[in-house]
Structure 1
Amino acid sequence: MKSITLVRHGKSSWEFDVSDALRPLKKRGINDAKMVANQYVKSVKLPEVIYSSPAVRAFSTCKIFLEIFNLSEESVSVKEDLYDFGGESVIHFIKRLPNNYDSVMLFGHNHAFTSIANIFGDKFIDNLPTSGLIKINFDISDWKDFKQGTTEFIIIPKELKA
Structure 2
Amino acid sequence: MTTTRTLVVMRHGKSSWKTNDPDIARPLNPRGTRDAVVAGQILAPLGFDLALVSPAARAQQTWQCLQMGGATAREVRTLDALYHAWTPQIIAELKGLPAGAARVLMIGHEPTLSDVILTLTPPSASRSEIEAKFPTSAIAVLTTEHPWDALAEDVATLAAYEVPRG
TM-score, reference length from structure 1: 0.87
Aligned to 1:51: 52
Q: Say if 1:132 and 1:155, in contact at 8 Å, map to a contact too.
A: yes
1:66 maps to amino acid: Q
1:45 maps to amino acid: L
Whole-angstrom CA distance in 1 between matches of 2:18 and 2:99? 42
Gaps of 5+ in 2: none
Question: Paired residue for 2:21, among 18, 21, 40?
Answer: 18
Whole-angstrom CA distance in 2 between matches of 1:154 and 1:66? 20
Deviation at 1:111, TM superposition (A): 0.5
Aligned to 2:34: 31
TM-score, reference length from structure 2: 0.85
Aligned to 1:138: 144
1:109 maps to amino acid: H
- 3-state SS of paired residue (2:55): coil
Whole-angstrom CA distance in 2 between matches of 1:40 and 1:92? 25
User: Is residue 2:98 matched to residue 1:128?
Assistant: no
- 3-state SS of paired residue (2:77): strand
Q: 1:105 to 1:32 in 2, by over 3 A?
A: same
Q: Say if 2:40 and 2:68, in contact at 8 Å, map to a contact too.
A: no
Q: Say if 1:36 and 1:155, in contact at 8 Å, map to a contact too.
A: no
Q: Say if 1:52 and 1:58, in contact at 8 Å, map to a contact too.
A: yes
Which of structure 1's runs of 4+ aligned residues deviate more than 6 A? none
Gaps of 5+ in 1: none
Whole-angstrom CA distance in 2 between matches of 1:153 and 1:56? 27
User: Is residue 2:5 matched to residue 1:2?
Assistant: yes
1:139 maps to amino acid: E
